[in-house]
Structure 1
Amino acid sequence: MAIEWKLFADLAEHAGDRTVTVDVGAGDTVGDALEALLADRSALSERVLEDEHGELRSQINVLRNGKDVRSQEQGLETKLEEDDELALFPPVSGGSQT
């Protein structure tokens, strides 16, 4: 099945587009979809992953249907469903205070 990633800010620049569709199989997880996204996008991979072991940088936010997957019980091991929407956000900083 095809799953679409929405990429924001500089992550879209590193990927070359604001949306990227990846193919995943039945029973695949958010982590599998992330691997598919990063597979041939080295600039994006360097921005998103902490090291060569594939650990996600702590400040990168991964959302499934608008919810942060890392705050959910199964994290990146959350199973995908056909209509899922995935999003990748860089760190969010605050605006000016008035």
Structure 2
Amino acid sequence: MEWKLFADLAERAGDRRVSVDAGPGETVGDALEALLADRPALRERVLDEDGDLRSEINVLRNGGDVRADGGLETELEDGDELALFPPVSGG
């Protein structure tokens, strides 16, 4: 499974795309844990002090926010695309 990372998250990870050992039948949360284990510099930016996903971090599966579709317990399927976004601002 591959994560696409954006903005400062890509900078912290050292890459815009990071492959992790997660696949169909596992969850988005499993894939996120694999990402954070591989790129520990992301952990503090992505998780709060209780180990929960920070409210301002967006996790997308196939372009949709996982919070609207089962959260981190959403089961992965073959071909899923995962993305991690920090808060977006602009004008």
Q: What do you get for the CA RMSD once the two structures are aligned? A: 1.1
SS in 2 for 1:36: helix
Dislocated runs of 4+, deviation >2 Å: none
Residues 23 and 77 in structure 2, CA contact (< 8 A), matched pair in contact too: no
Any gaps of 5 or more consecutive residues in structure 2? none
Instruction: Please point out which of 45, 48, 51 is paired with 2:46.
Output: 48
**TM-score if structure 1 supplies the norm length?**
0.87
C-alpha displacement at 1:82, in angstroms?
Answer: 1.1
Count of residue pairs brought into register by the alignment = 91
Q: What is the one-letter code of the residue matched to 1:82?
A: D
Q: Alignment identity in percent?
A: 77
Corresponding residue for 2:90?
94
Match of 1:80 among 66, 69, 76: 76
List per-residue Cα deviations over 1:10-61 (Å, max 9, x = no partner).
Answer: 000011100000111442000000000001322111111111x320100000
Structure 1 unpaired stretches of 5+: none
SS at structure 2 position matched to 1:23: coil
Aligned partners of 1:83 and 1:40: how far apart in 2? 21
More helix by share: 2
SS of residue in 2 equivalent to 1:87:
strand
Normalization by structure 2: what TM-score? Answer: 0.94
